[in-house]
Amino acid sequence: MENRNQEIINRFKESWIIIKNRYLDLVDNYNGFENLKFIIKFIDELNAKNYNNFFRLGMSMHRLIISRSVDNGLRLDQKYIMIETIEADRFEITMKDGVKIYKQFNSEHLNDLRIFKVLEILKDTLID
């Protein structure tokens, strides 16, 4: 069981490295992605707080996806948090699954306590 837990944590951590590098590539090599610098900083802040032990990261261009999925990709019944960059100083945060929205709000910064509250809610869901 210990080996399985460590394997899951390793997969989670690897996803953080991959996603951060993809965002860095977009910011460094393509026009129009400057707003993603805030997402990169947010990833670093979460990583420093060891959230990489509990969540997998994914992305869709301007959207950061945070889940408890062991594997890449999500089923319709899996909950996740999506952080979408609307503008340099505006983000939309949504906790949902493939069908239902559980929480949704806009924020001017990624240090918003509401984000950390939905992270804690998601952290309490099963890893699958």
Reported as a single tens digit per residue, the pLDDT across 10-63 is 999 999 999 999 999 999 999 989 889 999 999 999 999 999 999 999 998 789
**Identity of residue 82:** M
Q: State how far the Cα of 38 lies from the Cα of 19, in Å rounded to an integer.
A: 14
- Predicted TM-score (pTM) of the model is 0.93
